[in-house]
Amino acid sequence: MADRDGNGKFIKGHTVKSPGRPRGYRQQFVEQFVQTLQEDFEKHGAAAMVQVRQEKPEVYLQVAAKLIPKEIEVDMYADILNEITIRVVE
């Protein structure tokens, strides 16, 4: 590691041997991932949601909670044996 100083930072004048990830690669990856996710959801979405809701309601609620904007105030009441009720407070 002769190209780095004592703190692990590259020294001045260091030339990059490998430029790393190509420009725009991350955005391209995200776009492809979202497109594949959308296609999968169109094929299996409703059935998968029902299965997760029935078999793993805690996961279902975690996903739902992540989709709700943080600015919305939510009043939530959960009766574990019967049902879960979510009401948006305006």
**pLDDT digits (tens), the chain, 90 positions:** 467 888 888 788 777 777 677 788 889 999 999 999 999 999 998 999 999 999 999 999 999 888 877 766 656 666 665 666 666 665
Residue 62 C-alpha from the chain's centroid: 12
Q: Which of 89, 86, 84, 62 is nearest to 73 (CA)?
A: 89
Joined together, the tokens standing for residue 6 give: 């004592």
Contacting residues for 87 by C-beta, under 8 A, at least 6 apart: 74, 75, 76, 77
Residues linked to residue 75 through DSSP beta bridges, in sequence order: 87
What sign does the dihedral 12-15-20-23 (CA atoms) show? Answer: positive
Joined together, the tokens standing for residue 5 give: 């100083």
pLDDT of res. 8: 83
pLDDT of res. 68: 76
